[in-house]
């Protein structure tokens, strides 16, 4: 069968599976809609958390970034993985002990303030919409390439699938769908990685193949360094970023990722605190399978790309170039008219433009793997994008129904609250689909802002809310606003107002906009402590509640009370 047939078959089967699970696990109460009834097993929750964590950015973009950035791209591996460890060790068990449904729930009760809750809701909505728009756009691109339909129709199909299991099933449907999606995405990621590792190094383990030797006995990384240096690029294993900026970007990614609400809420779905810890451990193992493979996929991809295109006759370029040119993600321009392709570092002379996001998707075709592997990768990319989109949509719906409506109308019935949650999820699906079809200019530009926002606002409030009984509502609100405003001004200035100055020469202390969230976080901590010190301490009952959260015993089932 050809690639198109295999893709329709594998993507169609996976979609049928997701919809079937959603119908089977339809939520019948707000507890099932928000936290899957609090009865998910640690193993299932670990797989669902891994799928929620590993979005289209992890599946599609991360290896692409590392392919072209080399050593500098390792900040994403360290930051995102480190963020999960931080979340698992410092936040997850205690938030589960708190027994609420959402992060704004925690912030509002811990800081005994509607204002703090509203600020947390705004943060959650902004982060979630930023990410979900990117996920829906990723769905459209995958459909455009593999199913040969317009991007707009791809987004619409993705909206329909997500609508089924996010609106009908809530967290219960999403959880068990994400278990299936994890199985699909990890299989789709590992199969081509193993095949290509065998092709290049003879080693079936990609992580070992990365450090292995090619057929001529030359170490793969040494050969890649040499090839890139000859073309005028930096060596793959060398870095160009300053140490301070590397540290700040990694820290911003870590603390920003640890503050992402759609991942935090996953730890409210298990019965006990012990299960939250156990599911975090499972998730770390499941995540590590992909994250330790990504550097190998990146190196294999860029090596095969250069080998198959550089200095080749334009008329003799491999067929995958023509295929991907139709999507606009690759372009060939024979600038000097010599009939050959020069892929070089100088943008004036470079004749091959490659979008880094295609490296994982195109790798099977570049390596001439069987057509079914290409279709499998398409199904995996769809699983990664849809799993995260569903989690983000649930955060949006719960932020509206529980953290806004329920706050101002506490007497609302459970049935009406569930109806509002479903309507909010449906509205979020439609809005996310609109942004996927008509992506606003800021979507691609504010990824750094989203991480900076989470790092500078959510993370300090949550960590201090758990480990300090002295931080009060005045300190928390002042800290969130100061960290948020500083980070916002810095990023807006360099990204939008004066992008021509967005270079290390003009950055404050050599810190890029991608890393400034770390400074915003530090400002948040300092303001929190300072303001709390000169204002009254929290009420006695709040201090007692904080002490209770830190006691690792006696946790019952999750509830909304």
Task: Check whether 278 has a pLDDT greater than 60.
Answer: yes
Q: Which pLDDT score, from 0 to 100, does residue 27 have?
A: 62
**Alpha helices for 401-446 (secondary structure H):** 406-408, 414-437, 441-445
Share of the chain above pLDDT 90, in %: 19
Q: Which pLDDT score, from 0 to 100, does residue 470 have?
A: 92
Residue whose C-alpha is closest to residue 221's, from 229, 230, 213:
213
Mean pLDDT of 432-448: 61
Task: Check whether 437 has a pLDDT greater than 80.
Answer: no
- Per-residue model confidence as pLDDT tens digits over 466-503: 888 999 999 999 998 899 889 888 988 887 788 888 88
- Element of type H or E holding 330: strand 330-332
Q: Which pLDDT score, from 0 to 100, does residue 132 have?
A: 75
CB-based contact 61:356 (threshold 8 Å): yes
Q: Which residues pair with 331 in a beta bridge?
A: 353
Give me the number of domains the chain comprises: 1
Q: Comparing 333 with 147, which gets the higher pLDDT? A: 333
Other CB atoms closer than 10 Å to residue 480's CB: what's the count?
26
DSSP string covering 130-158:
HHHHHHHHHHHHHHHHHT---HHHHHHHH
Most confident of the following: 179-188, 327-336, 377-386, 395-404: 179-188
Task: Check whether 442 has a pLDDT greater than 60.
Answer: no
Residue 201 lies in a domain: yes
Task: Check whether 223 has a pLDDT greater than 50.
Answer: yes
* CATH number of the domain bearing residue 115: 1.20.1730.10
d(CA 163, CA 173): 11
Most confident of the following: 336-340, 445-449, 523-527: 523-527
Q: Which SS3 state, helix, strand or coil, does residue 219 take?
A: strand
d(CA 182, CA 186): 6
CB-based contact 141:327 (threshold 8 Å): yes
Task: Check whether 196 has a pLDDT greater than 90.
Answer: yes
- Per-residue model confidence as pLDDT tens digits over 236-267: 888 777 788 888 988 988 888 777 777 777 77
Q: Which SS3 state, helix, strand or coil, does residue 171 take?
A: helix
Residue 557 lies in a domain: no
Would you give the DSSP letter of residue 352? E
Mean pLDDT of 204-219: 91
Q: Which pLDDT score, from 0 to 100, does residue 52 have?
A: 80
Task: Check whether 445 has a pLDDT greater than 50.
Answer: no
CB-based contact 306:317 (threshold 8 Å): no
d(CA 517, CA 239): 22
Tokens linked to 82: 């480190």
Would you give the DSSP letter of residue 335? T
Provide the pLDDT confidence category of residue 188 given band limits of 50, 70 and 90: very high
Task: Check whether 207 has a pLDDT greater than 90.
Answer: yes
Q: Which residues pair with 354 in a beta bridge?
A: 330
d(CA 276, CA 270): 6
Residue 559 lies in a domain: no
Residue 512 lies in a domain: yes
- Per-residue model confidence as pLDDT tens digits over 26-48: 666 666 666 655 668 889 888 98
Tokens linked to 38: 């609090």
Torsion angles phi and psi, residue 54, rounded to 5 = -90, 90
Q: Which SS3 state, helix, strand or coil, does residue 298 take?
A: helix
Residue whose C-alpha is closest to residue 87's, from 136, 52, 40:
52
Q: Which SS3 state, helix, strand or coil, does residue 370 take?
A: coil
- The domain of 435 spans 3-549
Task: Check whether 559 has a pLDDT greater than 70.
Answer: no
Residue 561 lies in a domain: no
Q: Comparing 62 with 299, which gets the higher pLDDT? A: 299
Most confident of the following: 129-133, 280-284, 334-338: 280-284
Residue 343 lies in a domain: yes
Q: Which pLDDT score, from 0 to 100, does residue 221 have?
A: 92
d(CA 258, CA 454): 8
- Element of type H or E holding 353: strand 352-354
**Alpha helices for 87-113 (secondary structure H):** 92-98, 103-110
Share of the chain above pLDDT 70, in %: 91
Question: How long is the chain?
Answer: 561
Cα dihedral 335→338→343→347 (10° resolution): -20
Residue 524 lies in a domain: yes
Mean pLDDT of 451-464: 85
Token pair 């100055």 is found at 501
Percentages helix, strand, coil for the chain (3-state, rounded to 5) are 75, 0, 25
Beta-strand pair 352-354/330-332: antiparallel
Q: How far is CA 380 from CA 260, 306, 527, in A?
A: 23, 25, 44
Residue 556 lies in a domain: no
């Amino acid at each position: 069968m050809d690639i198109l047939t295999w893709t329709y078959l594998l993507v169609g089967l996976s979609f049928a599976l997701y919809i079937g699970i959603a119908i089977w696990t339809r939520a019948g109460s707000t507890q099932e809609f928000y936290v899957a009834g609090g009865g998910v097993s640690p193993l299932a929750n670990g797989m669902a958390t891994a799928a929620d964590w590993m979005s289209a950015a992890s599946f599609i973009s991360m290896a692409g970034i590392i392919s072209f950035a080399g050593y500098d791209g390792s900040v994403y591996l360290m930051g995102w993985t480190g963020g999960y460890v931080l979340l698992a060790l410092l936040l997850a068990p205690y938030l589960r002990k708190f027994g609420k449904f959402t992060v704004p729930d925690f912030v509002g009760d811990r800081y005994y303030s509607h204002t703090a809750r509203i600020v947390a809701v705004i943060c959650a909505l902004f982060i979630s919409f930023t990410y979900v728009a990117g996920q829906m756009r990723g769905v459209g691109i995958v459909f455009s390439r593999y199913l040969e339909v317009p991007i707009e129709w791809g987004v619409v199909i993705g909206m329909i699938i997500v609508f089924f299991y996010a609106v009908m099933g809530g967290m219960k449907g999403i959880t068990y769908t994400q278990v299936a999606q994890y199985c699909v995405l990890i299989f789709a990621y590992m199969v081509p990685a193993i095949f290509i590792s065998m092709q290049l190094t003879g080693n079936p383990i990609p992580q070992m193949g990365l450090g292995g030797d090619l057929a001529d006995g030359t170490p793969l990384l040494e050969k890649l360094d040499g090839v890139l240096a000859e073309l005028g690029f930096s060596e793959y294993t060398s870095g160009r970023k300053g140490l301070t900026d590397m540290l700040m970007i990694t820290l911003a990614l870590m603390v920003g990722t640890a503050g992402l609400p759609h991942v935090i809420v996953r730890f409210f779905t298990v019965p006990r605190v012990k299960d939250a810890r156990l599911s975090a451990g499972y998730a770390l193992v499941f995540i590590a399978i992909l994250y330790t493979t990504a550097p190998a996929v990146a190196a294999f991809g860029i090596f095969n790309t250069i080998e198959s295109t550089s200095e080749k006759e334009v008329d003799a370029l491999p067929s995958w170039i023509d295929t991907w040119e139709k999507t606009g993600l690759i372009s060939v321009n024979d600038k000097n008219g010599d009939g050959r392709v020069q892929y070089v570092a100088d943008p004036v002379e470079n004749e091959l433009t490659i979008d880094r996001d295609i490296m994982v998707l195109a790798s099977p075709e570049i390596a001439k793997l069987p057509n079914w592997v290409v279709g499998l990768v398409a199904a995996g990319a769809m699983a990664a994008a849809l799993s995260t989109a569903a989690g983000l949509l649930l955060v949006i719906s719960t932020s509206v129904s529980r953290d806004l409506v329920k706050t101002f109308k506490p007497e609302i019935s459970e049935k009406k609250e569930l109806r509002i949650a479903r309507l909010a999820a449906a509205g979020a699906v439609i809005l996310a689909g609109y942004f996927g079809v008509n992506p606003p200019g800021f979507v691609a530009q504010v990824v750094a802002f989203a991480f900076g926002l989470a790092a500078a606002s959510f993370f300090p409030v949550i960590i201090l809310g758990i480990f300090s009984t002295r931080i009060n509502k005045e300190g928390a609100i002042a800290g969130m606003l100061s960290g948020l405003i500083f980070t916002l001004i810095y990023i807006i200035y360099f990204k939008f107002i004066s992008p021509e100055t967005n270079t290390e020469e003009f950055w404050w202390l050599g810190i890029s906009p991608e890393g400034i969230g770390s400074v915003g976080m530090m400002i948040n901590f300092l303001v929190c402590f300072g303001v709390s010190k000169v204002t009254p301490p929290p009420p006695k009952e709040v201090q007692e509640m904080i002490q209770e959260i830190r006691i690792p015993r006696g946790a019952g089932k999750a509830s909304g009370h």
